[in-house]
Chain A
Amino acid sequence: MRIYLIILLGISLFGIAGCEKILLEKDLASSDPRDNFNYLWDQVDKKYSYFELKNIDWNDVRMRYSDSINSDLTEEELFHFLAGMLNELRDDHVNLFSPFNISVYNVSINYNKSYNARTIDENYLSEPRYTGAFKHGFIDSGRVAYVRYSSFISEIKEQDLDIIISRYSETKGLILDIRENGGGSVFNIPLLLERFAPSRTLAAYSITRNGENHNDFTEPAPFYINPHDGDVYSKPVIVLCDRGSYSASTFFSLLTKAFDNISLVGDTTGGGGGLPNGGQLPNGWTYRFSVTQILDLNYKNFAESGVPPDIAVAFNWNDLEHDEILDRAILELNQ
């Protein structure tokens, strides 16, 4: 009996341990700066979605940065180099996450801000209500509805929208303010937009990197908005946007272009139309970068550099009692 036990246990344990070593590839964990640099460069090269659109020579980036990478770099120095390499992509959906810092390109810092919450609170909204993720109220002597949605991360509940749509059903128009809305969940976009959709509408396409060549993409996948099966707002809608309207907000702004009853007022959006996917380096740090593109109905991509407004208006920071963008939206709804 003991012989049986010894043989079978031997096969089970030691044989298995040996099999694992042989059958699985070696552990690739590494803190060597060169390993991490090469791994990150290669992942971006294989999957990033905006090389051609932004005219980025990724091989040239490698040449310029690889000379500085050597095994003597400290982790902070390595982070500095890798973050610099990623920022060559000029994309806020590209980040490097380490235990001590997160790299950010920061598109919006190159432009003026166009939103001041205090201006609205003190001069427009006398008795704002807070319903779920929304801050809202009557403006322009009760003729216009103002709805502020500050982040697409915030969950949108149908009952909250029912309350808002019902409350403002008699207004002349609705202003949806998504300035400085940095994005969030793409699933919140149709929940909000379907309240203004008169019919099923093809609003955009998306394409995803699917090959090693920089221009390898899937066939365009359609993005539809269906009208909500319940309370909807059928009057004109104006969406306020600015350079701080990033990611899901840019996506939302792009989709509004397919609807005749919705207009964009303010500044060009921040961009970030690509879905950012995450990964991990051999040293355990994580990263993300865009792997998709959003296209308009003509298959053109202007989402990454920002969706231009239908009516461009600048915020005057010398006069904080007026919100010129909001004023123009009110004027448009009263015409």
Chain B
Amino acid sequence: MNLRIASVLFAAFLFGCKISSAALQRYESDSTGMPGFRDYSLMYSNYYSGIGYANVTHRDFATSPLFYDASAVSVNMGWPRVKEKSRREIGIEALAGISSARVPMKTEYIVISSSGIYSGNVHFDYLRKRNFPKLKSETWFGLSLQSRFNFRINSDLGNNGSGIEALANLMASGRIEKDFSKKAGEGKAFLFFKRKKDVYRMLCFQINAGFLNFNYRPGYAYSGFSEFNGSQTNGLQFLLANHSWSLNGFRINTKLEWILNKKNKYSDRWVYSWDLIHAPGKYERFQMVVHTFTYSMLLFRK
């Protein structure tokens, strides 16, 4: 099961790379000079695709008071579109990993409890530029619509072994971008060497805080019998029959991006993101923290 999902995620990454490569060829044929990073961002649609490592901590009080810590593989892709006054981005991220329960250390018998976790996140950001001249940076404010879907498997929990939750959040969003581009001969490369080429670099920090937080969580007894229509009963519908939507909890996430543009052919994009979720639901709360470190290629497309 894990192998199958990992294969799908890897295939999605390869597919993304293939699109990136095609986009790169178009970019090179269009290239006539050496405009700056920001110019390219404005002129073209941006596309990124990447892979990384995620550290996930989750706790579902409906089945356990224990935190589970997971190491996971993460893949992502996104389509930012930057204009003079506005910025929008659609992105998706998927991760798959194995988590272990944070059991007490002082025990006579070792308890090993593990869970598989698969999670997908979709976001759509729409931000408007707001200039603060003193900051000497570009600042953006707007909204982010995000949705995360989790599927967890823990065979130790029997009939409660499948954990499913969905989260949908409308978030206030703020972003700051600082351009650290340098011309050849300007400054020192790696502190010592004279810079021989132009280098385009940008540091971005974005924070999103949810103000409408929906979560889709299990019923009072976690799972129970719902109407059973013979062998036509769909297993997934049966599993979700006692789930319901609630409007409560909070979600906050941040993203720190370091974008390095080499010879304008493509950009390296290093991202550290953090996502914290608290979803009380109607009966039992769910908590999750995701730290993700990803590398992605950022390309410009017509």
Contact = CB atoms under 8 A, between A and B. Distances in A.
A213 to B, nearest CB: 12
Given A11-B205, A12-B274, A191-B231, A283 B111 contact: yes
Contacts of B226: 221
Contacts of A163: none
Interface string A1-37: 1001100110110001001100111011111000000
Interface in A282-305: 282-286, 288, 291-292, 294
A65 interface: no
Give the interface residue-count category, chain B: 35 or more
B107 A27 contact: no
Interface in B219-247: 219-233, 235, 242
A334 B14 CA distance: 67
Interface string B241-283: 0100000001010101000000000000000101010100000
5 contacts: A200-B230, A206-B225, A208-B221, A218-B224, A277-B159
A211 B220 contact: yes
A28 B113 contact: no
A108 B259 CA distance: 68
Contact of A221 (B63, B222, B225): B225
A291 B63 CA distance: 13
A250 B225 CA distance: 16
Interface of B: 59, 63-67, 101-104, 106-113, 156-161, 178, 180, 203, 205, 219-233, 235, 242, 250, 252, 254, 256, 272, 274, 276, 278, 287, 289
B101 A280 contact: yes
A283 B220 contact: no
B250 A285 contact: no
A239 interface: no
A29 B57 CA distance: 14
B256 A9 contact: yes
Contact of A194 (B107, B225, B230): B230
Given A75-B109, A221-B228, A284 B276 contact: no
Nearest to A291: B221
Nearest to B231: A190
Q: Closest 8 A-B residue pairs measured CB to CB?
A: A208-B224, A284-B111, A206-B225, A280-B64, A284-B103, A278-B158, A278-B157, A226-B230
Contacts of A130: none
B178 to A, nearest CB: 5
A27 B101 CA distance: 11
A14 to B, nearest CB: 12
Contacts of B232: 226
Contacts of B229: 224, 226
B254 to A, nearest CB: 6
A280 B233 contact: no
Interface in A76-90: 76
A282 B276 contact: no
A73 B63 CA distance: 25
A92 to B, nearest CB: 13
Interface of A: 1, 4-5, 8-9, 11-12, 16, 19-20, 23-25, 27-31, 39, 47, 49, 74-76, 97-100, 186-187, 190-191, 194, 200, 206-211, 218, 221-226, 228, 275-286, 288, 291-292, 294
B65 to A, nearest CB: 4
A30 B109 CA distance: 14
B159 A187 contact: no
A284 B104 contact: yes
B273 to A, nearest CB: 9
B220 A4 contact: no
A210 B66 contact: no
B13 to A, nearest CB: 25
Given A1-B178, A19-B276, A29-B103, 13 more contacts: A12-B254, A12-B274, A29-B66, A190-B228, A190-B231, A206-B228, A224-B227, A278-B159, A280-B64, A280-B66, A284-B104, A291-B224, A292-B224
Contact of A12 (B112, B113, B272): B272
A315 B113 CA distance: 43
A294 B66 CA distance: 32
Nearest to B109: A99
A23 B103 contact: no
A35 to B, nearest CB: 9
Contacts of A207: 225
B230 A29 contact: no
A200 B230 CA distance: 9
B93 to A, nearest CB: 17
Contacts of B254: 11-12, 16
A282 B159 contact: no
Given A224-B228, A277-B221, A280-B65, A74 B108 contact: yes
B203 A190 contact: no
Contacts of A221: 225-228
A286 B157 CA distance: 7
B174 to A, nearest CB: 12
Nearest to A16: B274
